[in-house]
Amino acid sequence: MEITYDKNAQEILSTIKSFARKSSLWVIAYGTGCGAIEIPPTMTSRYDAERFGIRGSATPRQADVLLITGYLAVKTLKRVIRTYEQMQDPKYVIAFGSCTINGGMYWDSYNTIKLLDKYIPVDVYINGCMPRPEAVIQGFIKLQELIMNKKAEGAAKYKENLEWYRENQRKIIHNWRMPEYNW
Ligand code: SF4
């Protein structure tokens, strides 16, 4: 009986933690592409994302969510990786715009990323070119559902498969010179 009680208590505690996490998402928005223009209306009074617990963060170390807002140049990818690795666990990535999924209208460009998930783990993609604020909010709601159901596992996937990610990252970033990821 005692063990059952402990398990129940742990489950309740874990659910409370997930509820707290999903209700307070601090976002660092990396405005890589044109989709960044949809962030101000999403965060301000018209769509008011803060009513869902979503708000901006000034630095990666205080952020829970890294929001990549569109096409990503190889040169910028290096900064995005560095930003992601500076964030503390638990951390999540939302990639927004078709460019992060398949390169979008830059699909044959020599210097943009075609699939962001090869380089950093993406928890939620929001498709569209560019996605409207309603879609952005829907993407956050999807992330909140994943957090609540303990399925937002991107950061764990990154740790487990770091060698695979590094290999992909180093294939396209030639002047690597990055500090080692300090867990
Ligand atoms: S998906 Fe469209 S709006 Fe978004 S970065 Fe690409 S071209 Fe720009």
Q: What does pLDDT average to in each consecutive run of 10 residues of the chain (183 residues)?
A: 70 92 93 88 93 94 94 92 94 94 92 94 94 95 96 95 95 86 65
Supply the pLDDT for residue 109: 93
| Residue 53, token pair as written in the block | 């617990």
CB of 70 within 6 A of ligand 1: the answer is yes
Q: How many CA atoms lie within 13 A of 109 on its CB side?
A: 16
Instruction: Give me the pLDDT at residue 77, please.
Output: 94
Among the listed residues 55, 130, 139, 126, the one whose alpha carbon sits nearest the alpha carbon of residue 96: 126
Residue nearest to atom 5 of ligand 1 (CA): 70
In ligand 1, the atom with minimum distance to the C-alpha of 34 is 8
Cβ–Cβ < 8 Å for 49, 42: yes
Q: Is 104 in the pocket of ligand 1 (CB under 6 A)?
A: yes
Start-to-end CA distance of the chain, whole Å, equals: 37
**At the topology level of CATH, where does 24-172 sit?**
Rossmann fold (3.40.50)
Specify the pLDDT at position 121.
97
